[in-house]
Every structure is written in structure tokens, then in C-alpha cells.
A = this chain, B = another copy of it.
Amino acid sequence: MKGTYSIGVDIGGTNTDIGLVRDDGKIIDQANLHTDDYWDAELYVRDMAQKITGLLQKNKVTKIEGIGIGAPNGNYYTGSIDQAPNLNFKGQVKLAEMMKQYIDAKVVVSNDANAAAYGEMIYGGAKDLDHFITFTLGTGVGSGIVIDRKLILGSTSTAGELGHSIIIINGRECGCGRKGCLETYTSARGIRRTTRELIEMSPLYDGILKDIPAERLSAKMVGDAANAGDPIGRQTFENVGYLLGIAMANAVTFSAPQAIFLMGGPVHAGEVLMKPLRKSFEEHLLNIYKGTVDIRVSELADNEVAILGAAALCQM
């Protein structure tokens, strides 16, 4: 620990969370903005800068490594958010440039899933790894890829969209307009969809998930049911583990990582997910990679990963 600090900003459609992060990965203090209160990006960034300055003064921090910002469609190369579908600001918002009007610091922007991967390397379980991939199971499935300790951005800054790799040709319809994307099966939403499909196909099923209305059913409920021995809950997570294992084996053929990290709520289902996942992964892994890749659970807390990932970007 060098006793240095970074600012991590996690921009979501509803909330913007700002954290003051110490170099050992401790979030010292936090502030918040309501993203959806703003329709003018200039005002939004001005208030964000004010909150950051406030955090620094309150905690008597006079020097930071930088400000890292994780946002949907955040672009590292341009320091901007481009056409983010969940934000009121349309077009390109040049965050880094605007922020520097207020605070003289390094400002780094990236998309949230890529930031999470970088967070795992700087503050989490990948501190000693050169090559790894992260999968975040949330509303969708995000991913981030690190090779030789570098975050893979590609030509567009949007590399690492493995949630939209096609796992079943002509499979389930995806929000992206295509079919069979990994996230239609393995996101929290995909998990609910599988459970509902299984219930419909099982007229004799009389378990705890049966009478929960579709709109109230959550991936957590399915996980809890699976852990209580419910057959539909178990079958759902077997399906998720099976497909995720194939997707991970496919990802290994790309970058031959040392480890793959799982993040996000559904991961807390534990062994009902991890056991079929590891089995499928081993079964579908090409021979030459056997024994070279660990499947691990992220060491970052769900409620901290977004801020830590953003703060980690300052080390890029």
C-alpha cells in the first residue's frame, strides 16, 4: 500500500455512484448523484465534479491518481459515452474533456464490464495474473478480457462483449435484435426465462417456484429454490452452468487465460451453479488447455465492484 487514492465513478441510468478509493481497494467515502435528474450533460458533469471535490476536501485528500469512470458505452479512446441507451444524454458526451474543465487530473473512461475486469486485477483476485477473463451475470452478461495485464479494447473500445456471442444458433431472441446470444440464457433475466419455460413444460411440478408470478420471480429466488433442493431450480442452474461452461471453453480458445472470474448476483447460488459449470467447462475444454485454466468467483463485493473497477482504470 502506497497510501495513494483514486476516484471511481459508476454511471448508471438511475444513479451515479462516486467513491474515494485507497490503493488497497478500500472505499474510504462515497457520494451520489441521480443521473436521471439531469437532461443537460454540462450540468451533470459540473455537479459530478463538485461532489468529487467535496469528497476530497472532506477526507483531506490533496492528490489523486486520477478519476476513472465506468459507464454503459463508455469509450476509452475518446473519453466519452457514446449513444448510451439508458441515459437522458443523447449522442456523444465527452466526459473526460468536460471533467478536466473542473478538475486537473487524469480522467479515464471505459465501459462498466471492462472496468470490472480491470478492478479484479488491481484490487481483486487477479492481482498476480497476466491473462484472465471476467463474466458478469447481471441483467445482461458483461465481460472483460485482460491479456498480458492489458485490458483488451480492440479497434472500437468495445471489445469483450462475450454476452453477445452466439451460443445457440437461432436460439432465444435477444434484446440486441439477434438470436441465441449467451446472455439470453445465462443472465439473471435468462435464468428467470429458463425457470418459467421449465415450469410450463412440467405439469406435475408442484414446488416452491410454481406459484410465484412471472413478474416477481427473480434469479435469487431460483437460486434459493435450487439450494433447497427444488428440481426446477436445480435444472435451471444446470442449464446455466452447462452453457456458460461451453462459452468459457470457447473463450479459452481465444486468449488462453490463466483464470476466468465470475461476478454478479446469480453467482451466489454457489455450488448449484459452479458444479455443473466446472463439469461442462472441463468437458468442453480443448485438450491442450486442460489443467491450465481456473474458474473462480470474483473477490470484489457485488456492491463495490462498479466503483472499484472504475477507480482501477486510473492505473491504465
Contact = CB atoms under 8 A, between A and B. Distances in A.
A176 interface: yes
Nearest to A246: B166
A205 interface: no
A130 to B, nearest CB: 7
Contacts of A246: 166, 169
Interface size class on chain A is 35 or more
Interface stretch (A37-45, A63-71, A226-234, A283-291): A283-291
Interface stretch (A51-59, A98-106, A250-258): A250-258
A150 B152 CA distance: 12
Contact of A255 (B159, B177, B249, B289): B159
Contact of A256 (B158, B177, B283, B286): B158
- Max chain B Cβ within 10 angstroms of own Cβ: one of A168, A250, A283: A250
B292 A166 contact: no
Contacts of A157: 256
B256 A145 contact: no
Nearest to A73: B288
A254 B257 contact: no
Interface in A224-275: 246, 249-251, 253-258
Contact of A166 (B150, B156, B249, B255): B249
A169 B168 contact: yes
A160 interface: yes
A178 B284 contact: yes
A139 interface: no
